[in-house]
Each structure stands twice: as C-alpha cells, then as structure tokens.
Amino acid sequence: MAIREKVFNTIISCFKRHGAENIDTPVFELKETLTGKYGEDSKLIYDLKDQGGELLSLRYDLTVPFARYLAMNKVTNIKRYHIAKVYRRDNPAMTRGRYREFYQCDFDIAGQYDPMIPDAECLKIVHEILSELELGDFRIKVNDRRILDGMFAVCGVPDDKFRTICSTVDKLDKMSWEDVRSEMVKEKGLSEEAADQIGQYVSLQGGMDLAERLLQDAKMSQSKQACAGLTDMKQLFSYLQLFQVTDKASAEKVRTTETQVMVASAQKNLLEERLRLTAELWNAGIKAEVMYKKNPKLLSQLQHCEDSGIPLVAILGEQELKDGVVKLRTVHSREEVRFSYTASLSV
C-alpha cells in the first residue's frame, strides 16, 4: 500500500500540474452502455445477476463510463483524470501483477481542438510519469487508426475484415508474428499474400523518420486516409520536440559492425548497379554493405540502417543513374546531397 500510495501521488501530482480535474463514476454501468464497445473483448465483461431490475455490468475500463458521463451531463470540453478499479473476466497473470480487479489511471482531454496539440500533451504526461517513477527504459507506442486502416486497404484486406484483423494485429505485444499471421490466415480467413504485406509494415519502428518514409512508400502513399494520418503524426512529433519529449534510446547505439555506408536502391532491377557501387566503395577502403535481395524495398533498406546504426545510405535510382549521380543520405538527420559517381567514392 505504501508503494501504491507513492505511485498514485506521483501520477496525481502530474495530472494536476497539467490542469486536470478529478471525476468519479459508479463501479457498475447499465449493461447496454458497455455492450458492443470493446469488440472481441466484450466477452470479458462481468455481468451482474439479474435480480428483477436493470441489467448491470461491472465497468471494464474508465473510458466508456467517461463518455457516458459527458453525454448525460452535456459536457463538451473537459480535461479530467480518474483513478479507480476496473474488472475483467480474464485469466489472471500473477507474475505480471495482472488480476481480474485492477486500477486504471486515466487522463483525457475531451472537446474539439486543433489536431495533435492535446495528443502531444497526453504523451508528455506519460513521459513525465514514467520518468519520475524511475522504472527504467520505456517505449511509448502511438498509432492513428487512419494509418492502420489505410495500411489494411493497400495490403488487400477486405473492408468487412478490418476490425477483426485489427484485433489480431493488436496481439503483437503478446504473440510472435508467426502466431499472429497464423490467426489472420487460418482463423480470420485473410489471404496469405495480404498477411505477408501487413507483416512488412508492422515490423517497422521509428518516429518522425518512419512517418516520412511511409509517406514516400509506393503503396501507403496511394491511401488518402493513411497519408492524412501520417501527416498528423509528423505534426505530433514536431510538438513532442517542443515539449521536450525526447527519445531516451537516442544515445549512441553500441554497434556490432563498423559499416559506414549502406548501398540501397529506390526501384526494382538495380541489383547489378548496387553490387558494382558496393565493390567500388570496398576498393576505395570504405566500409559498405548491401542487402542480399534482388529487389528490396527502400523502406526495408532504410530500416536496416536505423536498426544497425549505419550512418549513411547511398541511394541509387533510375533518374540518378541517368544523371550520373548518387544520392547520399545521412540516416539520422535525413539530409541528402548528390555526388557525381566519381566524387561519391571519396566520401
């Protein structure tokens, strides 16, 4: 209890520092209020015994009761926090501290505002709390449903399967990609081709850089929905920089190789050119690397640079070859310069 009190005091102090007011709601709600709000997880709701009155259920989270509170009281703008117990008819995981009754600490900003400003403050709050609690390294994952839906569309997921495939993708935190893929294909009836395309995207990680790369991706750029979400995501990260929500893993990585340049291609059928340039870099004493695929996606090649800490990427494209130049990009800053083919060897 002493530990819990200290944690709650830290969280509440942060919520109040950001101007939130406190509310409370009943531990139970009308069953009809909760029904249909949680997708496949609705089966985890505790229903109270029918004693000849209204059908009631224990609250599953604090978000749906908050929405009901706003609607009943005609509240249009509020910044609120709510710390209370919720109930889920799930299999308890004692080793992870997950019981069927547990606390949630919610902070929400309700209302109509300019995009991404309230969202950035919510992430700032999470960053402040986790940093102050000194829990060690942590990662905050953000998503925009438009990006997810756009990705499903360009990967060939039928409209009527969006929600059910989404619920499976959400399990990536708990299951391997192989198991997630198997569920999508064997249980949800998704084609193997669509599942494999989804796998290429969900394996990517990053922040502002990933949003920019996806905006340039040949498939994702075809979805207006995804592009709108990615544009807002870029805006979000610009606000996070102003709020000083910085990446704590941004310290220099411990690299296992000394590769200086990754030789990449922007289009298909450029394997020979990539190999030729890689050989010339090696001959010039430059530590270089190339992916062992005939037609790797540019996104995958750039992600490899991010993951491996390779500082530079030489990008070959059909237009660059015609112009007799190579694009050299600094991976961290994404700044690009063009070198003539000869000049590029004296990097």
Give the chain's count of helices (H) and strands (E). Answer: 13, 10
Length of the chain: 347
CA angle (142 as vertex; 214, 43 as ends), nearest 5: 120
Of 3-7, 53-57, 89-93, give the lowest mean pLDDT range. Answer: 89-93
User: Which pLDDT does position 143 carry in this prediction?
Assistant: 87
At 75 the three-state DSSP class reads coil
User: Which pLDDT does position 129 carry in this prediction?
Assistant: 96
pLDDT tens profile 266-276: 889 999 999 99
Q: Which residues of 334-343 are buried (b: 16+ CB within 10 A; e: fewer)?
A: eeeeebebee
Tell me whether residue 108 is annotated as binding: yes
At 261 the three-state DSSP class reads strand
Query: Mean pLDDT, to the nearest integer, of 209-214?
Result: 90
Distance separating alpha carbons of residues 40 and 42, to the nearest angstrom: 5
User: Which pLDDT does position 251 carry in this prediction?
Assistant: 46
pLDDT tens profile 31-68: 989 988 887 778 889 999 887 788 999 999 999 999 99
Tell me whether residue 216 is annotated as binding: no
Residue 344's pLDDT band (cuts 50, 70, 90): very low
Residue 130 predicted with pLDDT over 60:
yes
> Residue 119 is inside which H or E element, if any?
helix 117-132
Query: Mean pLDDT, to the nearest integer, of 108-114?
Result: 95
Distance separating alpha carbons of residues 286 and 280, to the nearest angstrom: 9
Of 7-16, 171-180, 253-262, 305-314, give the lowest mean pLDDT range. Answer: 253-262
Contact (CB, 8 A) for 307 and 249: no
User: Which pLDDT does position 248 carry in this prediction?
Assistant: 58
β-partners of residue 30 are: 56
pLDDT tens profile 153-195: 999 999 889 889 988 998 888 889 999 999 999 999 999 999 9
Query: Mean pLDDT, to the nearest integer, of 104-112?
Result: 95
User: Which pLDDT does position 206 carry in this prediction?
Assistant: 85
For residues 98 and 77, the model is more confident at 77
Residue 343's pLDDT band (cuts 50, 70, 90): very low
Q: Do domains 1-112 and 261-340 have the same CATH topology?
A: no
Q: Which CATH architecture has domain 261-340?
A: 3-Layer(aba) Sandwich (3.40)
In CATH terms, 1-112 corresponds, of 3.30.930.10, 3.30.420.40, 3.40.50.300, 3.90.550.10, to 3.30.930.10
Tell me whether residue 242 is annotated as binding: no
Angle between helices 2-17 and 117-132 (to 10 degrees): 150
User: Which pLDDT does position 256 carry in this prediction?
Assistant: 80
Contact (CB, 8 A) for 204 and 304: no
Phi and psi at residue 255, to the nearest 5°? -90, 140
Of 30-34, 106-110, 174-178, 330-334, give the lowest mean pLDDT range. Answer: 330-334
Tell me whether residue 51 is annotated as binding: no
Spans of all domains in the chain: 1-112, 145-248, 261-340
User: Which pLDDT does position 342 carry in this prediction?
Assistant: 52
Tell me whether residue 62 is annotated as binding: yes
Tell me whether residue 259 is annotated as binding: no
Query: Mean pLDDT, to the nearest integer, of 90-115?
Result: 88
Query: Mean pLDDT, to the nearest integer, of 129-146?
Result: 90
